[in-house]
């Protein structure tokens, strides 16, 4: 089931969370932590980028969305799935994505969800987490979905199966 936007001008929102293996100021996460500003700046300059959630850190790493302080939060809005895919798998971000097993533990639940928003609308971390929980408990729908349900998304099929460890 492909989840089409309700109108052609609606934007694609996304949320992702991850559980760190070590705090952000630990040498084991240094490569990840030191690249946050570079990756966020790159995202903001991408064609199709609309908005990202920012807290007092300049990214979103101080935003606690669950009881576990090792879980970090990221959320953004894009023109469409193709624009988000270009950022995730068509830029230097891809190198960090493929190294995720070095820095993050697997979660026992969904860690990524997308949904459609009308132009000009944003969301809170609580809103995003409700969407993520909905996907985890109810499965894909117009409320929240994954790459398989995103119209025009194709790169995820090849990229998601690659090894998570550094190459």
pLDDT confidence of residue 157:
66
**In terms of Cα–Cα distance, which of 78, 100, 98 is closest to 17?**
100
- Cα(112)–Cα(164) distance, integer angstroms: 16
Question: What 3-state class would DSSP assign to 165?
Answer: coil
What CATH number has the domain spanning 11-159? 3.30.70.100
State yes or no: pLDDT of 166 exceeds 70. Answer: no
Beta bridge partners of 119: none
For the chain, give every domain's residue range.
11-159
Question: pTM here?
Answer: 0.91
pLDDT in tens, 67-98: 999 999 999 999 999 999 999 989 999 899 88
Mean pLDDT score across all residues of the chain:
92
Residue listed under structure tokens 């117009």 = 142
HSE-up of 126 (CA within 13 Å, CB side)?
Answer: 0
pLDDT in tens, 122-153: 999 999 999 999 999 999 999 999 999 999 88
pLDDT confidence of residue 160:
64
**In terms of Cα–Cα distance, which of 158, 148, 157, 137 is closest to 2?**
148
DSSP 106-130: PPSS--EEEEEE-TT----HHHHHH
- Cα(147)–Cα(159) distance, integer angstroms: 11
> Is residue 19 within 8 Å of residue 161, measured between CB atoms?
no
- Cα(101)–Cα(63) distance, integer angstroms: 22
């Amino acid at each position: 089931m492909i989840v089409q936007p309700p109108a052609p001008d609606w934007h694609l929102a996304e949320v992702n969370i991850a559980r760190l293996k070590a705090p952000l100021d630990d040498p084991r996460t240094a490569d990840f932590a030191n690249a946050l500003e570079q990756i966020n700046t790159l995202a903001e300059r991408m064609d199709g980028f609309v908005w990202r959630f920012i807290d007092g850190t300049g990214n979103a790493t101080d935003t606690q969305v669950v009881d576990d302080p090792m879980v970090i939060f990221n959320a953004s809005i894009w023109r469409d799935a193709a624009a988000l895919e270009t950022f995730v798998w068509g830029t230097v971000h891809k190198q960090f994505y493929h190294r995720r097993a070095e820095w993050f533990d697997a979660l026992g639940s969904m860690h990524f969800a997308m949904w459609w928003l009308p132009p000009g609308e944003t969301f809170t971390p609580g809103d995003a987490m409700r969407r993520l929980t909905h996907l985890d408990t109810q499965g894909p729908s117009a409320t929240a979905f994954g790459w398989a349900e995103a119209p025009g998304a194709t790169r995820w099929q090849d990229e998601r199966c690659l090894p998570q460890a550094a190459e």
